Amino acid sequence: MLPNLLNYEITNLALWQGRHDSLPEERFFQRVQCIDIHTHSFDNTQQQPMIVGFCSDEGIRRNEGRTGARTGPDNIREQLAKLACHTNTTYLDAGNIVCEDEKLEAAQLELAKLIEYCHRQGHRTIVLGGGHEIAWGHFCGLAARYPKLGIINFDAHFDIRPVHQIRLGTSGTPFWQIKHYCQQHERSFDYCCLGIQEAANTKSLFELAHEWGIAYLTVDQLQTQDHNEKIAFLDAFLTHHEHIYLTICLDVFAECYAPGVSAPQALGLAPQTALPLLKYIMQTGKVVSLDLAELSPPLDQGHKTSRLAASMLAQLLSVNNHKEPS
């Protein structure tokens, strides 16, 4: 049974609006049902994907970044609602976990409880952020359900900065936290990162990545290697995992495509470089949950970043994925 979530709010129905076409159920807003997770009666014969928001930029604030990602989840919903939906899938919007009064750890714990509950009911999840501190709570919810979980992160940063006793977790520490969780629980730390920027990660972070056996490709490698080389890199990781947690930090993309992030990248990826790889990962059927992190609407320009996030999500959700979570 799901415990009462103190940081929980139901999604505003007004976010799911769009153009009505002559044919029914053509767009995402027509395929989404908003629910109250505390009162919803689940039908386990209909395992619809569940959308969850994580409204937080506290991790970014602690990381001395530019805040604004707290409003990201609802902004992605607004943009996704308008887009054409090319599958017969219906979605449940399970609402938001909201970080209040700088109490990030409490919000991450509640996100973990909500994610675990959704998966216990047999539903895969789509989590909208929010800063990349989303990854720690998201992983904790999945870890309870999937003992051997591979993590694939599209990101300009490793996000493995250490959490010191005098500091709390930030948007730059989630995979350090996950690594130490894995050590404490005697499970393997299986982390793969694509899009790493050399200028955005210190030498010590690269050394730590090598020490921990993190598989990664830099942004330069993604832009220069041919497609088969990149697929071979992914296959080497995917082969060893039945379940994948896919996380996309929007600062992996070049600033001209994604200006609305805390740390924009002048030399980041083009979406056309990342999207075929993301689709390849999705079509394996191994992705049990994915998230989009670091959208900051107050820093965006003409909704470029939110439209990119929604358009990519729409394409990923349209990838054939018939495998059911075990």
Mean pLDDT of 250-275: 98
**Segment 99-127, tens digit of pLDDT:** 999 999 999 999 999 999 999 999 999 99
Mean pLDDT of 186-209: 98
How many other β-carbons are positioned within 10 Å of the β-carbon of residue 48?
17
Contact between residue 324 and residue 286 where contact means Cβ atoms under 8 Å apart: no
- Whether 151 has a pLDDT exceeding 70, the answer reads yes
Mean pLDDT of 215-224: 98
Q: What is the pLDDT of residue 323?
A: 46
What pTM did the predictor assign? 0.95
Contact between residue 308 and residue 314 where contact means Cβ atoms under 8 Å apart: no
**Segment 51-65, tens digit of pLDDT:** 999 999 999 999 999
Q: How far apart are CA 218 and CA 157, in angstroms?
A: 10
Average pLDDT for the chain: 94
Mean pLDDT of 232-239: 98
How many other β-carbons are positioned within 10 Å of the β-carbon of residue 215?
16
Q: What is the pLDDT of residue 322?
A: 41
Residue 283, SS3 per DSSP = helix
123-155: b (≥16 Cβ within 10 Å) or e: bbbbbbbbbbbbbbbbbbbbbebbeebbbbbbb
Q: What is the CATH number of domain 8-317?
A: 3.40.800.10
163 Cβ partners below 8 Å, 6+ apart? 169, 170, 173, 176, 177
Q: What is the pLDDT of residue 157?
A: 98
